[in-house]
Every structure is written in structure tokens, then in C-alpha cells.
Amino acid sequence: MKLKLIKYLAIFVALAASVTSCIEDEMTPMASGEGQTLVKFLEGPENKLFFSPFSGVRKTDLFSVRRDAHSSGILNSSSSIRLTAAPELLDEYNEENEESYEWLPDSLYILVVNSSIQGSMDEFTFNFGSGDFAKELAIELNGDKWDISRKYAVAYKISDPGGFPVVNGQESILTFISVKNKYDGVYLVSGTMSSPVNGDWSTASNDPAEDGTVIEYTLSTLTPTTCLAVDENNLGIPGTLFWTGTGFSYFGSFGLIIEFDPETDKVVNMINFYGQPAANTRSAALDPTGLNTYDPDTKTIEVKYFMLQPSAVPAPPHIHTMWDEEWKFVRDRE
């Protein structure tokens, strides 16, 4: 499972850090005038910005360009670094990640005027003066014109580093800009699960294997009223981990999209991410006997829902599995 892999990786990283510390103890400081002045996007190669819905205008730093000078002489000198828009990087990202980010349209922002930054959103020249080591590119986003159902991004590459080397892996940047609804975040899952198909099946949220398994759903904004639930800890995909009685499993082609009424904070629908119904006839449905609500004070979701599967349960209402859960907010989504 993904959870176990993360534990092993954590041990590996800890050992690697220990070895690195030993190496650093044997290093000597670099003398003045040695080394190189390096140029990079400080937040590169990716910078993800998430906002709650807002009205009016909000100043936002898209990214910063840094000049790491190796000597005071370089730091106190002037230099210029040119950036060029790279929409092809966004196209590649969308294709590789099956995403749908759009280039940030001119109608949604105004470029913050800065005397040391010249150009347009197609190409910029960052003019570094004496003592300058970083420059930020900022815009003013118009929240009143934002379509929360869309996701935007910009992409740039360093086309002229001013005669200095560029740090490998930080020569370009993709900045993603998304507005999230108020339900967006990471939630700790607890509750019960049962199935008329198999009485041995039960929830995985109570750590039945006693191995530290935790169920958290990352709710990512899809529209102003809907979120996609992803089990990042264990599956890395939209899915519902459960206990078979002897081990963990999950239902193929079944993941949750949860829909809210933003005026009442009621949960009004559960939808199968893989199709309603999916190819295997599985669909999601809200159990109307549940509280099915979001409490904005405690940021807790109380929800009861079904997985329906007519191919396995021919008799209506085709209930294959049922859940009665509490999703408690624990942190913002990264």
C-alpha cells in the first residue's frame, strides 16, 4: 500500500539526511571570490496558489527570480535577466497530468507596475540593481470576474540569464492559480461501513490492521458546489479503502464527488467520479436518512451514502455497500 511506501521513504530520507550532515561537517567554507553566481526561479519548477472566493482586487505574487551572488562585488553590480512566456510547458503539463489548466486571461488581472521590471506577460526583463538579489512578479487579481469552475496558470522560462548559469531544475516555472470553495481541504474520516454482499467487510478508518492506517479525504474544488474526494494516504486516487476481514482492498471504478448547497451547507448529492454509473454499473447515492450536512463552525461533514451496483445486486434499490461517516477538517490542501 502507498501508506507503507511512505513510511519506508521517510526512513530512507532520515538516513540520507544523517549522511549529508556528516559530509557537511567535513566541508570548508567557500573563500571570497570562489564559486558561481546562479540564477533561478525561487519557487520553481512549480508554484501552486489557492485562494478562497473573494471580491474586489487582491495583489498576488506569481513567482520570484533570484540572483544568488557569490561575491559582494557581483551583488553590488547591475545585471538584467530576461523571461519568456512558455505556454508549451502548460500544454505538456496538462497532457501528462490529464489536467485542464488554462492560460490566465488578461481580463482577470492587472500587472503591478514596477520600475525594475519591464515588458508584458509575453516577455519580461528583470533589472537587478546594486544590492538586489530577488525580484517578484506581482499581479492584481479581480475576484469579481473569476470563474471558480476554471483553473488558470502561467508558465515562464529564463531565456537570458544575464551571463550567469541557471540552476538545473529551476530554469522554468509553472504557476497554478485556483480559487477553492469553502469545503476544500483535508478531512479525517471516521465512521462505519457495511455491505449486504459480504458481512466481513468493514470500514478501514478505525485502523483494523493496527498498523497506523489513517483515512483522510482530500477535497479538491471542482465547481463552486462540488469537491472531488481523494485518498492521498493510501490509494492516491479517488477511492474508498475498506477492510475485508483479513486485509485492505478498495472498490474499482468507485470514487466520490460530493455536492453541497452553499446556502444551507447541506450535502445534496454523491456522485461516482468514474461515471454515474461506471462501466461496472457502480454509482454513488446519498442516503436521505443521514444528517448530510457541513458544520461551518467545526468544519465537519456528516454524511451517509451508498454504492449502488445493479450487476451485483439486481433487486432495487441495488444497494451494494453503505457508509455512515464523519469527515473532520484537519488542514488546508497543499
Q: pLDDT at residue 11 above 60?
A: no
Instruction: Please give the Cα distance from 270 to 273 (Å, whole number).
Output: 9
What are phi and psi for residue 45, nearest 5 degrees? Answer: -85, -10
CA diameter of the chain:
81
- Residue showing cell 538545473: 168
Percent of the chain surpassing pLDDT 90: 65
Instruction: Please write the tens of the pLDDT for every residue from 30-74.
Output: 333 346 888 999 888 999 888 877 889 999 999 999 888 777 888
What are phi and psi for residue 6, nearest 5 degrees? Answer: -60, -40
| Beta carbons within 10 angstroms of residue 100's beta carbon | 8
Q: Is 148 helix (H, G, I), strand (E, B) or coil?
A: coil
Q: Is 115 helix (H, G, I), strand (E, B) or coil?
A: coil
Radius of gyration of the chain (CA): 25
Q: Is 318 left (phi over 0), alpha (psi -120 to 50) or beta?
A: left
Instruction: Please write the tens of the pLDDT for every residue from 175-218.
Output: 999 888 899 999 999 999 999 999 999 999 999 999 999 999 99
Q: Provide the pLDDT for residue 285.
A: 98
Residues in a beta bridge with 303: 325
Q: For the full predicted model, state whether its pTM sits above 0.75.
A: no
Q: Is 140 helix (H, G, I), strand (E, B) or coil?
A: strand
Q: Which cell goes with 107? A: 481580463
